[in-house]
């Protein structure tokens, strides 16, 4: 199962990338991923705190799979152990023009609990939209 959201931001991809990778400042602007820490290097573990709209907060420790500057950031995490409820989360930046970026955020879910997790996945999708809008506001205000 995949959820995917996207929007256009009136800022260059490099500017959007700087905001996405400035982990210490996530708490200042991000309503969905309220904390993130870790080294921005493939195979390194990150520490995230997710705040689901109308739900609870979750702490996860995913591994960074891809980190392609100004293009893609992707990690994979799981609930309790692999195969139970797994997620591969991605942010993709596509340059539309010199001053416009299409921002795509999504997650591919797998594992035996996915079919029982509809409410959580719906809340996560809403969180993606809230984060996207906050990222757009921040990038366009500062950029």
Q: What is the pLDDT of residues 61-115, one digit of tens each?
A: 999 999 999 999 999 998 777 787 899 999 999 999 999 999 999 999 988 878 8
Q: What is the pLDDT of residue 142?
A: 67
Would you kindly state where each structural domain of the chain is located, as residue ranges? 2-142
Q: pTM (2 decimals)?
A: 0.92
Token match 């891809």: residue? 66
| Tokens of residue 127, six digits | 């969180």
pLDDT at 143 exceeding the cut of 60: no
**DSSP type of residue 85:** S
- Domain 2-142, what architecture? 2-Layer Sandwich (3.30)
Query: Could you give the CA distance from residue 5 to residue 94 in angstroms, rounded to a whole number?
Result: 13
Helix H, strand E, coil C: the string for 113-138 is CHHHCHHHHHHHHHHHHHHHHHHHHH
Supply the pLDDT for residue 111: 86
| pLDDT interval class at 24 (50, 70, 90) | very high
């Amino acid at each position: 199962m995949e959820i995917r959201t996207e929007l256009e931001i009136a800022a260059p991809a490099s500017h959007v990338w700087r905001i996405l990778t400035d982990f210490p400042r996530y708490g200042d602007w991000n309503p969905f991923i309220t904390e993130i820490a870790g080294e921005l290097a493939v195979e390194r573990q990150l520490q995230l705190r997710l705040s689901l709209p109308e739900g609870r907060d979750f702490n996860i420790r995913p591994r960074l799979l891809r980190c392609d500057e100004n293009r893609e950031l992707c990690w994979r995490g799981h609930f309790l152990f692999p195969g139970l409820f797994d997620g591969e989360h991605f942010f993709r930046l596509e340059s539309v023009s010199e001053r416009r970026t299409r921002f795509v955020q999504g997650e591919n879910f797998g594992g035996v609990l996915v079919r029982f997790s509809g409410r959580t996945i719906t809340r996560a999708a809403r969180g993606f939209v809230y984060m996207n809008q906050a990222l757009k506001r921040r990038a366009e205000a500062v950029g």
